Chain A
């Protein structure tokens, strides 16, 4: 297990290096002069020259990268010109909001997707299976932003059960209950599509393991069918489902861009959309780097969890 862990951690290093190169590349590859792009077309040549020196743009590309990555490693992502505050402060604050949204959605995805998939597999060809299959298909075929709009119309505007947008009420808001209340619609809209994916993969994996010989062995021991399904079948099926959940977390973080825009959620997705609009390159860089890194680390965690769940993976 330890050898697997070390090997897997070492594999992450080149991936993160690649990510940093791509993010850094945004600065180099952007058409025109980055300093001018940051400062806008009315900047004086002195200001542009000062910023170029500040960003090490007057040096060769590889030196630029070294100085950029050194700063990033120290938590210095530069300063957002459009917000006039350190990029680091902005992205950590926004990312917290996104994590809250995506994390809540993840809980819904896991509970709904796994339950639906298990029930559908155990009740194969029965009405529960058909209902879940249709439900999963509908979930899969609906874009989350459209679902979000429908939710706003139905549950916020018509029924008035939930607020239409934002994370806190304007007056006297901000408590845990207030935030939870704001969270319900965007988290559910974000979760439904991913739930469909998990439900389908769970169903097909469960169908496969339910036919396995060791499930028959478990039945022959006199175990209750619920126990057979969970401890013997599901315990095996989950091994293959965990990496898919890892990928879906990436999808939730990415999908948050639409949902945050639709629901006015102050997360990193909406921040990125705005930053791109205002050409705040440093903010875009910081945001993309953070999202990409967390995606890599989440999938690393999923792989490690898979190895914990399946003794065969550890030896390979």
Chain B
């Protein structure tokens, strides 16, 4: 299912996902959470993965590190190559050397992602010592530096504290510090600001921007918020009902979204200074993943739908300049 836009890009990407299909089987019903996703992340590139809840963005990201609980989930097709190593078929040992070392994760809810009975220090030191040959003391020193790097005050004292003694924002900083422990080449962040207060969201987002400039790692940033994408990412991949429906450089996508779903998502971003404007919503719900319609999955909610949209599979078509859209009339407006 390789599309030419990926084949045509200069240099090999750090991460190359091809035809990824991750399905969930619940009570005999198959839910196609991710169904034929292609995704590239170049070295140092920040890619935003956008979509509504249930569009398959988290499942795509968790599939990269094989963190999908099996059962009920299962990668049924495709490959996930990290510089030539296919993580889908890799041995457990190879996979464990990648996890937390070359690819690290920041998860959505910092209240539940840290182990409640281990101190902050223990959890970071464990991450460091798994991948680096450091003494306990040296690793603790490194952990303190990491906490400093994410602007946690009194880092020495925080090391001995437990997650419940920290605020949500502080906990997410700890999770980020932990993810950075082994200088990963790729950081996967799964809606890292969603569970936080609005003011804290902005702080954490600033931290991501700062860290990316300073450390230069690649970033796969999952969000449902286009506003976040514009501040942080180089490129956007939009998902709907388990498929990529559009991908484009960030500046282009805001100017000229090619897929109607992308256009509607961008319209949903509330802009400051336009307080009087009525908030946009996309009417309807995403389709059930165990009963996907024929043709375009977005057709039932699309404002420019026509008869041809409901017939047969629609391919992700390259439109030049690194843009691709899964639409038979890209850029159409009502």
Residues of A within 8 A of B (CB): 125, 211-214, 216-225, 231-232, 235-236, 239, 309-312, 315
Contact = CB atoms under 8 A, between A and B. Distances in A.
Contacts of A125: 71
B319 interface: no
B112 interface: yes
Given A214-B115, A223-B130, A239-B117, 19 more contacts: A125-B71, A212-B112, A214-B112, A217-B107, A217-B113, A219-B99, A220-B65, A220-B99, A220-B100, A222-B96, A222-B97, A224-B96, A231-B126, A232-B118, A235-B115, A235-B117, A236-B116, A236-B117, A311-B117
Given A212-B112, A220-B67, A310 B117 contact: yes
Nearest to B102: A222
Contact residues on B (Cβ < 8 Å of other chain), bracket = 20 to 34
Closest 5 interchain pairs by CB? A222-B99, A221-B100, A222-B100, A213-B112, A311-B162
B334 interface: no
Contacts of A309: 117
A217 to B, nearest CB: 5
Interface of B: 65, 67, 69, 71, 92, 95-101, 104-105, 107, 109, 112-119, 126-127, 130-131, 162, 164, 175, 178
Contacts of B95: 222
Contacts of B115: 214, 217-218, 232, 235-236
22 contacts: A211-B69, A214-B113, A214-B114, A214-B116, A216-B113, A217-B113, A217-B115, A219-B65, A220-B65, A220-B104, A220-B105, A220-B107, A221-B178, A222-B96, A222-B97, A222-B130, A223-B96, A223-B130, A225-B92, A232-B118, A235-B118, A312-B117
A214 B107 CA distance: 10
B116 A221 contact: no
Contacts of B71: 125
Question: Main SS of chain A's interface residues?
Answer: helix
Contacts of B98: 222
A312 B162 contact: yes
A221 B114 CA distance: 12
Contacts of A239: 117
Nearest to A213: B112
A217 B114 contact: yes
Contacts of A214: 112-116
Given A213-B107, A213-B109, A213-B112, A222 B117 contact: no
A216 B99 CA distance: 11
A315 B116 CA distance: 13
B117 A221 contact: no
Given A220-B105, A222-B101, A223-B126, A213 B96 contact: no
A312 B163 CA distance: 9
Nearest to B122: A231
B161 to A, nearest CB: 9
Contacts of B164: 311-312, 315
Contacts of B105: 217, 220
B64 to A, nearest CB: 10
Contacts of A211: 69
A134 B22 CA distance: 34
Contacts of A217: 105, 107, 113-115, 175
A211 B71 CA distance: 12
A129 to B, nearest CB: 13
A208 B319 CA distance: 48
Contacts of B104: 220
A297 to B, nearest CB: 25
Contacts of B96: 222-224
A309 B67 CA distance: 28
A214 B115 CA distance: 5
A59 to B, nearest CB: 54
A230 B98 CA distance: 21
Contacts of A218: 115
A231 B162 CA distance: 16
A312 B99 contact: no
Nearest to B105: A220
Most buried by A among B97, B104, B116, B117: B117
Contacts of B101: 222
B67 A219 contact: yes
Most buried by B among A231, A239, A309, A311: A311
B130 to A, nearest CB: 5
Nearest to B128: A221
A224 B96 CA distance: 7
Contacts of B126: 221, 223, 231
B114 to A, nearest CB: 6
B131 A222 contact: yes
A239 B164 CA distance: 16
Contacts of A223: 96, 100, 126, 130
Contacts of A310: 116-117
A45 to B, nearest CB: 67
Most buried by A among B98, B101, B113, B119: B113
A309 B76 CA distance: 41
Contacts of B65: 219-220
A214 B178 CA distance: 13
Contacts of B116: 214, 236, 310-312
